[in-house]
């Protein structure tokens, strides 16, 4: 199963894009300056224009009559122009504060912008504050953005004279005779444009963070300072986004993972390698055990492939040619082996272990398979992007006429699981990439099979051109969390090519050998990443059915310990995930510990409870306590709540 993991910034998802704003269109006469037209007609919030399909600056004077489409700053294109201009203004501020700075690239990105800059040292929070302060001064100075074109040689000379080798390298890679420059005040930069008319148009912005970034992503190149910022058309939009970021920060699974003692990542162990602590291991065990049972119900058989396979097999499958940069290799007794990044080949070998009849098909093989991928350290991100992870991976081998039902079965499986965990989701079909194997006919058959299954069940989908696996198209399922962020989850891939490469066959009703179709699929995807999304979706406050600890038993003082132990043992014996509080602290502190650790239920036991044989129970986030609760009633309520939530 090929799986696309989010990049370093995409790992935390994104908030919804604002709706498109209606543009203004009008006929403009030759010789007119677009900015003057905007002022004359009192057009508000216009930052650029489109003429004959091309974006241009408002400072443009047209040389013939044109139909002009004026672009509002709140439009998707308008906000991108605003943010790209903000990156130039930020670079100008950096140049004022660090005169020897050298500049690489500064694009607009989703919800913001960044600039990669060689400053000669790492930046800190005080530096960001000073840069932002200088940006505000530049904005207030109202410098116009002025465009000019130079020959490629003139551009090279300009940046060589400045000693900016990054821009020189970028210009050398441009396959054009002329390049465009933009200047605002005393700052000039290489840029295609367009830009806002002047710096005063940037009113609502904020610098967010700084991170290290290698020039062009090459670890052998210098480490630059990547300064991130954001900008919006209105103060409310900026305030809303900053509030959104604060909520994201509160829910960060790395932070909550430490606080809730779920997992750790240590440099001495290795980047991208997860150490699961007891509570985190319990959480993933609950999910994995539930998934195993659900697969059995749906007719899957458990298999397990080896962690390493001969490199020749990876060459035969095409992984070596298309994926080797993401693989680890080792040598055993002079033979080259690839550590598996996917589970496909092991499952193929299971299928090939004996001759298959049409009566046996479909064969559905499932494995919670551990895979390893060589990810660069700069893109590793908590549980979201790691070097070792587990996939709930399955491969279905079926006859072509069974394909539609099998894909629908997987879609129904996905639907059931997303409902269980409380996620809305959307789907898209990712089509053939440039770097792929197989014939056009095979890809057309596979793509049409996915489309047919979605349309037969009235499921909505989008098309994501060119993002399929190298061996086949796929349906990607993207779940939406409590903050509206989208995350890649399930994947269903239709593959006619690997069965051919490995000469997979079955005997049909007439005794003739035929080629099966292979469906690669995951339901939750990477277990590590899914848990990261769960943590952030629930802010670590898991529903009872997946809470690693459901109940904590708290004795009021040491003299109540023996009775607390009896209650604790009884809960454990009937399968309730309970803990006994043994710390020598006041009862109020013990309760605060449970609250901080987000334990759903706390049972408090003192003299009164021992004498009455009843329980005092505190439910998380509820004020006060439920007193005089029968043990049997409490147990029944726990079971009912757990079953209602999913029954894991």
| CA-atom Rg of the chain in angstroms | 30
Q: How many C-beta atoms lie closer than 10 Å to residue 630's C-beta?
A: 11
Rounded to an integer, the average pLDDT of 412-439 is 93
Q: Which pLDDT score, from 0 to 100, does residue 13 have? A: 43
Q: Chain-wide mean pLDDT for the chain?
A: 92
Residues 6+ apart with CB under 8 A from 410: 396, 490, 492, 519, 521, 523
Using the predicted structure, report yes or no on whether residue 4 has a pLDDT greater than 80: no
Which residue did the predictor score with more confidence, 561 or 624?
Answer: 561
Spatial strand order in the sheet of 66-72: 24-28, 66-72, 46-51, 54-57
Rounded to an integer, the average pLDDT of 601-618 is 93
Residues 6+ apart with CB under 8 A from 444: none
Q: Which pLDDT score, from 0 to 100, does residue 647 have? A: 57
Q: How many C-beta atoms lie closer than 10 Å to residue 264's C-beta?
A: 14
Q: Are 105 and 115 in contact (CB under 8 A)?
A: yes
Catalytic residues: 344, 373, 391, 393, 395, 474, 520
Helix (H, G, I), strand (E, B) or coil at 532: helix
What's the rounded Cα separation, in Å, for the pair 323 and 339? 12
What's the rounded Cα separation, in Å, for the pair 450 and 197? 47
Fold that domain 76-233 belongs to in CATH: 3.30.980
Using the predicted structure, report yes or no on whether residue 628 has a pLDDT greater than 90: no
Range scoring the smallest mean pLDDT among 5-19, 94-108, 251-265: 5-19
Q: Which pLDDT score, from 0 to 100, does residue 471 have? A: 87
Residues 6+ apart with CB under 8 A from 66: 27, 28, 30, 51, 52
Q: Are 547 and 410 in contact (CB under 8 A)?
A: no
Q: pLDDT (tens digit, 9 = 90+) per residue, 38-92? A: 898 888 999 999 998 899 999 999 889 888 999 999 999 999 999 999 999 999 9
Q: pLDDT (tens digit, 9 = 90+) per residue, 286-299? A: 999 999 999 999 99
Instruction: Sketch the domain layout of the chain as residue ranges.
Output: 22-72, 76-233, 279-303+344-538, 544-645
Q: Which pLDDT score, from 0 to 100, does residue 478 have? A: 94
Q: Are 163 and 118 in contact (CB under 8 A)?
A: no
Rounded to an integer, the average pLDDT of 223-252 is 96
Helices 235-251 and 527-538 pack at an angle, to 10 degrees, of 120
Q: Which pLDDT score, from 0 to 100, does residue 18 have? A: 45
Q: Which pLDDT score, from 0 to 100, does residue 3 have? A: 47
Percent of the chain with pLDDT over 70: 95
Q: How many C-beta atoms lie closer than 10 Å to residue 464's C-beta?
A: 15
Percent of the chain with pLDDT over 90: 81
Domain 544-645 has CATH 3.40.50.800: yes
Q: Which long-range contacts (CB under 8 A, 24 or more apart) does 413-420 make?
A: 413/294, 413/298, 413/523, 414/477, 414/489, 414/490, 414/492, 414/523, 416/294, 417/294, 417/490, 417/523, 417/524, 418/477, 418/479, 418/489, 420/646
- What are the helix and strand counts (H, E) for the chain? 19, 32
Using the predicted structure, report yes or no on whether residue 103 has a pLDDT greater than 50: yes
Domain 279-303+344-538 has CATH 3.30.930.10: yes
Please classify residue 73 by burial: count the beta carbons closer than 10 Å to its beta carbon, then call 0-12 exposed, 13-18 middle and 19+ buried: buried
């Amino acid at each position: 199963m090929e799986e696309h993991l989010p990049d370093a910034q995409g790992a935390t998802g994104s908030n919804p894009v604002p709706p498109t704003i209606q543009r203004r269109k009008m006929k403009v006469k030759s010789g007119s300056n677009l900015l003057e037209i905007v002022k004359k007609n009192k057009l508000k919030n216009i930052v650029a224009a489109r003429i004959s399909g091309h974006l241009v600056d408002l400072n443009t004077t047209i040389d013939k009559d044109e139909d002009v489409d004026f672009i509002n700053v709140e439009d998707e294109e308008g906000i991108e122009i605003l943010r790209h201009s903000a990156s130039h203004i930020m670079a100008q501020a950096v140049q004022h504060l660090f005169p020897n700075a050298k500049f690489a690239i500064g694009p607009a990105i989703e919800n913001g912008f960044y600039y990669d800059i060689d400053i000669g040292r790492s930046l800190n929070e005080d530096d960001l504050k000073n840069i932002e302060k200088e940006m505000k001064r530049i904005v207030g100075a109202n410098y116009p953005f002025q465009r000019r074109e130079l020959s490629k040689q003139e551009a090279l000379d300009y940046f060589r004279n400045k000693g900016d080798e990054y821009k020189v390298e970028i210009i050398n890679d441009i396959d054009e005779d002329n390049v465009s420059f933009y200047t605002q005040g005393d700052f000039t930069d290489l840029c295609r444009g367009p830009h806002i008319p002047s710096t005063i148009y940037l009113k609502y912005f904020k610098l967010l963070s700084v991170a290290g970034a290698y020039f062009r992503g090459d670890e052998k190149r210098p480490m630059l300072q990547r300064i991130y910022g954001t900008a919006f058309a209105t103060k409310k939009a900026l305030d809303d986004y900053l509030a959104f970021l604060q909520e994201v920060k509160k829910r960060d699974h790395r932070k909550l993972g430490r606080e809730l003692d779920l997992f750790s990542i240590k440099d001495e162990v290795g980047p991208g390698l997860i150490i699961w602590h007891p509570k985190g291991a319990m959480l993933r065990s609950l999910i994995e055990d539930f998934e195993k049972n659900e697969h059995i119900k749906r007719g899957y058989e458990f298999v397990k492939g080896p962690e390493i396979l001969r490199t020749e097999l990876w060459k035969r499958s095409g992984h070596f040619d298309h994926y080797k940069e993401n693989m680890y290799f080792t040598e055993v007794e002079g033979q080259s082996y690839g550590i598996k990044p996917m589970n496909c080949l092991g499952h193929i070998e299971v299928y090939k272990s004996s001759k298959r009849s049409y009566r046996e098909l479909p064969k559905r093989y499932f494995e919670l398979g551990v895979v390893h991928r060589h990810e660069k350290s700069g893109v590793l991100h908590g549980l979201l992007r790691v070097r070792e992870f587990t996939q709930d991976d399955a491969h279905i081998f079926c006859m072509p006429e069974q394909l539609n039902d099998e894909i629908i079965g997987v879609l129904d499986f996905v639907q059931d699981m997303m409902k269980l965990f409380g996620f809305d989701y959307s789907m898209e079909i990712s089509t053939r990439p440039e770097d792929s194997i197989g014939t056009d006919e095979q890809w057309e058959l596979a793509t049409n099979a996915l489309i047919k299954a979605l349309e037969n069940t009235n499921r909505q989908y989008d098309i994501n051109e060119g993002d399929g696996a190298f061996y086949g198209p796929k349906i990607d399922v993207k779940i939406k969390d409590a903050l509206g962020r989208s995350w890649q989850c399930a994947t269903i891939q239709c593959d006619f090519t690997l069965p051919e490469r490995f000469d997979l066959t079955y005997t049909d009703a007439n005794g003739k050998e035929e080629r099966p179709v292979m469906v690669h699929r995951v339901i939750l995807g990477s277990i590590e990443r899914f848990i990261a999304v769960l943590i952030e979706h629930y802010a670590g406050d898991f529903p009872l059915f997946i809470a690693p600890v459901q109940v904590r038993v708290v004795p009021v003082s040491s003299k109540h310990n023996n009775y607390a132990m009896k209650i604790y043992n009884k809960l454990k014996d009937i399968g309730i995930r309970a803990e006994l509080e043994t710390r020598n602290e006041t009862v109020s502190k013990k309760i605060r510990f449970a609250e901080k650790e987000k334990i759903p239920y706390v049972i408090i036991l003192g003299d009164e409870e021992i004498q009455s044989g009843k329980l005092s129970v505190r439910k998380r986030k509820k004020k006060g306590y439920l007193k005089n609760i029968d043990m049997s009633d409490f147990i029944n309520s726990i079971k009912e709540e757990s079953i209602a939530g999913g029954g894991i």
